[in-house]
Amino acid sequence: MSKWFRAADEWISANTWLLILLTLAVMGLFYAYNLDGKLDDDDEGSYLYQTWRITLGETPYRDFLTPQQPFFLFSGATVMRLLGQGVLPVRAVGVVLILVAGLFVCLIGQELLSLQAGLIAMCLFLLNPDVYRWGRMYRPEAYMLCLSTGALYVYVIALRRSRWNWMWLSSLLFGLSTLYKLFGILLLGGCLLAVAVEVVRGRLPWRTALGMGVRLVVPALAVVALVMAIFVLRFPEFYGAVFGHQLRQGRELGWGVRIARKAALFIGYFGLYAPLLIFSILGSNWARKQRHPLLRMLAIQLVTPLSFLFLSRDPSPRHLMYLLPVLSLLFVAALQRLASQPLQSFYWAISAAVLISWLFPETFTALNRDLDTPRVAEYIQAYTAPSDVVLSDYAGLNFFSRRPSTYYGASLSRGATSSGQVTGADLVAEIEAMDVKMVLVDVSPKTAHQMVNLRDYEDFRAYLQQHFTLLAVLPRGEERLEVYYKRR
């Protein structure tokens, strides 16, 4: 058997790039299969609606509320203008970006370990349930991951080959990733922390570190500050819509409750990805003991999630997606250290076991098709004209039915309603001012989390019952949508 393994290892070593290209092709097909099957994600629905309205000439922050960064929405609007206003084009672009991020993971693995190790790290990254689940939707994570992983690759090249000026490019990419999603800044923070740790431990001259720090900070800071300043000056609502949305959530909770919830997130994440995290920690420890400077500096990224402790809002596992390229690389580093030689059967067996445990649940989920959302959209179209304003718990229904919503209705969320950023009184004022014809409220005990969390929900519901007629209660998955139509 050892001869067979050695022969397989030799063939893989000689044909690694062929395997990489084949893997990307297969992954592309895997991601693309039934790409438009799931349509009921409420966050994605809001982004689809907002992007569609931009293609019609409306402006975010002024014409509709959104907590998203402008680069993401305008990028999606460009795709819709070029490729069509359906869900498939914008999702397909996201898939391509995720595949490019996976290729960057492979190239980082080549710089730090070997090309073969990079191939396995790429597979671990692309088949991670969070990457697969959210990468197949129209969300800013795909844009952020592509840019931040590319920035990390340039950063590693700059360190390995002492090309310090390349850090300007790395910093610029980190800045752009932050303009798609604010969590993109955390990898840059980890890089700066790694440089600081090397100085404290006497492994890096402080003058060199200072030059590296300037190169890493200035372009990112400049591009983020410039774009933010432009949007704040042009749209005064921008700051409150984006940063206010993040900062107001959870402020009513005490520090003890906030920290307990963050601890619950970390414990839950460990339960989800215990093998990945355990081997990543082993890889980090090996890099420290063996004095592998590049891996050691990469491993510093593992402490960046502690920054969540300073956020008032509750993060979710998908907010840790920015760290998955690093975890995948450290996982492979640990396996390569434990195996007597790279690509030995032990190396592949553990990787395969982890991948299979991730793959099956997500594969079955990807087979499902959402038939309820088109039915609800058709119902809305049957009772309203294209110009009629419809207020819904889920703006995605406005997108699929092609009906305009209100300013606040474009971005209802649990955080916006429970924090008081949006109130029932705000929605009633919009209903009166915009002559809203239809209102859809999710009342399911399992899924309702937006309008039902309005601080004055009872008053809002009483208003609906007084001025609207309840037409039907429509199912959409586990949701139960009460459909109210305005009385004449």
CA-to-CA dists, residue 400 to 51, 319, 474, angstroms: 12, 27, 16
pLDDT per position as a tens digit, 40-95 = 898 999 999 999 999 999 988 888 888 888 889 999 999 999 999 999 999 999 99
Token pair of 112 as six digits: 């730090």
pLDDT per position as a tens digit, 343-379 = 455 566 666 667 666 666 666 666 788 999 999 999 9
Determine which of 39-48, 247-256, 312-321 has the lowest per-residue pLDDT on average.
247-256
Residue with tokens 């989390």: 449
- DSSP 8-state secondary structure symbol assigned to residue 60: B
pTM: 0.90
Mean pLDDT of 102-109: 96
Mean pLDDT of 86-112: 96
β-pairing, 438-442 vs 390-392, is parallel
Mean pLDDT of 239-260: 64
Backbone angles phi and psi of 227, in degrees to 5: -65, -45
pLDDT at 285 over 90: no
- The mean predicted confidence, pLDDT, of the chain is 87
Evaluate whether 112 touches 294 at the Cβ level (below 8 Å): yes
Evaluate whether 358 touches 406 at the Cβ level (below 8 Å): no
How high is the pLDDT of residue 367? Answer: 73
Dump the DSSP string for 283-296.
Answer: HHHHHHHTT-HHHH
Q: Is 267 exposed, middle or buried (0-12, 13-18, 19+ CB in 10 A)?
A: exposed
Closest CA to 477 of 451, 453, 447, 450: 447
Determine which of 196-205, 350-359, 431-440, 476-485 has the lowest per-residue pLDDT on average.
350-359
Dump the DSSP string for 90-101.
Answer: HHHHHHHHHHHH
Closest CA to 70 of 203, 195, 237, 208: 237
Percent of the chain at pLDDT > 70 equals: 87
Token pair of 434 as six digits: 């915009």
pLDDT at 247 over 70: no
Q: Which helix (H) or strand (E) holds 79?
A: helix 70-83
Closest CA to 272 of 332, 317, 325, 226: 317
More reliable by pLDDT, 308 or 458: 458
Mean pLDDT of 386-406: 96
User: What angle in degrees, to the nearest 10, is found between the helix axes of 70-83 and 42-55?
Assistant: 70
pLDDT per position as a tens digit, 263-274 = 887 888 877 787
What are the extents of the domains in the chain?
2-32+67-367, 372-486
Three-state DSSP state, 252: coil
Q: Which helix (H) or strand (E) holds 485?
A: strand 479-486
pLDDT at 26 over 90: yes
Mean pLDDT of 404-411: 93
Compute the distance between CA of residue 264 and CA of residue 272 in angstroms, rounded to an integer.
Answer: 12
Q: Which residues contact 428 (CB under 8 A, 6 or more apart)?
A: 460, 463
Compute the distance between CA of residue 342 and CA of residue 352 in angstroms, rounded to an integer.
Answer: 15
How high is the pLDDT of residue 55? Answer: 96
Q: Which helix (H) or strand (E) holds 338?
A: helix 324-338
- DSSP 8-state secondary structure symbol assigned to residue 137: S
Backbone angles phi and psi of 111, in degrees to 5: -70, -35
Closest CA to 405 of 48, 22, 3: 48
Which range of 91-105, 111-125, 249-263 scores highest in mean pLDDT? It is: 91-105
b/e per residue 366-378 (b: at least 16 CB within 10 A): beeeeebbeebbe
The strands making up 479-486's β-sheet, listed across from edge to edge, are 390-392, 438-442, 479-486, 468-476
pLDDT at 1 over 50: no
CA-to-CA dists, residue 154 to 220, 267, 302, angstroms: 14, 32, 19
The count of other CB atoms within 10 Å of the CB of residue 189 is: 16
β-pairing, 479-486 vs 468-476, is antiparallel
Confidence bin at 253 (pLDDT 50/70/90)? low
pLDDT at 438 over 60: yes
User: For the domain with range 372-486, which CATH number is right: 3.30.70, 3.40.190, 1.10.287, 2.60.120?
Assistant: 3.40.190
Token pair of 379 as six digits: 């119902």
Q: Which residues contact 462 (CB under 8 A, 6 or more apart)?
A: none
More reliable by pLDDT, 118 or 335: 118
Compute the distance between CA of residue 193 and CA of residue 486 in angstroms, rounded to an integer.
Answer: 57
